[in-house]
Amino acid sequence: MTPDLFDHGDEAPTGREALAPGALVLRGFARNQAEGLVAEIDAICARAPFRHMLTPGGQRMSAAMTNCGPLGWVSDRRGYRYQAVDPDSGKPWPPMPGAFLRLAADAAAEAGFAGFVPDACLINRYEPGARMSLHQDRDERDLSAPIVSVSLGLPAIFLFGGPNRSDRAERVLLLHGDVVVWGGPSRLRFHGILPVKEGAHALLGRQRINLTFRKTA
């Protein structure tokens, strides 16, 4: 068993990779600030703990979720929506840290989407085995703003498909610190995450954490 020096993304090359018009991967874009992001995540989940939401069909999602910012994405038997309060506590979601706002705006600008000011950050925690099946981010009122997705911890294979679920999906290995941005003509593309492989990350242990920034209104 040969150790893979690139598995955790700590020494992988940085740069950009085009996925489709309006969609690209910024390799290692958040790597140098990952420890600060994790400290912020710890503070957020102390106030709004990770929980497994239910789909409208009543099935438990394998990725645990929480949110920060003025609005948070929630799912239950009633459907998907954004709301200002955490349904588990009845309190507002924790505020969006300044470092989150700056990272999201910087990554969006790097991808050609200037002036991105997210009002929601969904935080997904994947333990080994957790996944996210192909879906569209379509609960936002304003689809002109992009989606900015930050990967931390364990690697995962990102599926990036087309406007229809049946379109063939590209597979992209995402490492700690990678950021994916998609918007414009790619804003409604289907995407997902294959089951996360067993492993341990130096900073995050047996988990992958994904920050997904959206402008919902």
Partner DNA sequence: AAGTCTCG
Partner DNA sequence: AGAC
Residue 51 found at the interface with DNA (CB under 7 A): no
Sign of CA pseudo-dihedral 154, 53, 62, 191? negative
Q: For residue 50, state whether it binds DNA (rule: CB under 7 A).
A: no
Q: Which one of the spans 35-43, 58-66, 179-187, 201-209 is the region binding DNA (CB under 7 A)?
A: 58-66
Q: How far is the CB of 89 from DNA (least distance, A)?
A: 21
Q: Determine if 127 is a binding residue for DNA (CB under 7 A).
A: no
List the one residue from 74, 132, 179, 196 that touches DNA (CB under 7 A): 132
* Residue 100 beta carbon to DNA: minimum distance, rounded to whole angstroms: 18
Instruction: Tell me how far apart the alpha carbons of residues 161 and 191 are, in angstroms, rounded to a whole number.
Output: 6
Q: Does 75 bind DNA (CB under 7 A)?
A: yes
- CB nearer to DNA: pick between 12 and 174: 174
Q: Does 141 bind DNA (CB under 7 A)?
A: no
Tell me if 83 contacts DNA by CB under 7 A.
no
What is the closest distance, in whole angstroms, from the C-beta atom of residue 158 to DNA in the complex? 13
From start to end of the chain, where are the E strands? 15-20, 23-27, 64-68, 72-76, 79-83, 120-126, 132-135, 147-153, 156-160, 170-174, 179-182, 191-193, 208-214
Q: Which amino acid is at 210?
A: N
| 91 near DNA (CB under 7 A) | no
Q: How far is CA 40 from CA 33, 44, 146, 215, in A?
A: 11, 6, 23, 20
User: Residue 178, interface with DNA (CB under 7 A)?
Assistant: no
Task: Please name which of 134, 145, 143 lies closest in space to residue 104, comparing C-alpha atoms.
Answer: 145
Asked if 48 and 89 count as a contact pair (C-beta separation under 8 A), the reply is yes
Q: Which residues bind DNA (CB under 7 A)?
A: 55-63, 73, 75, 80, 122, 131-139, 166, 168-169, 192
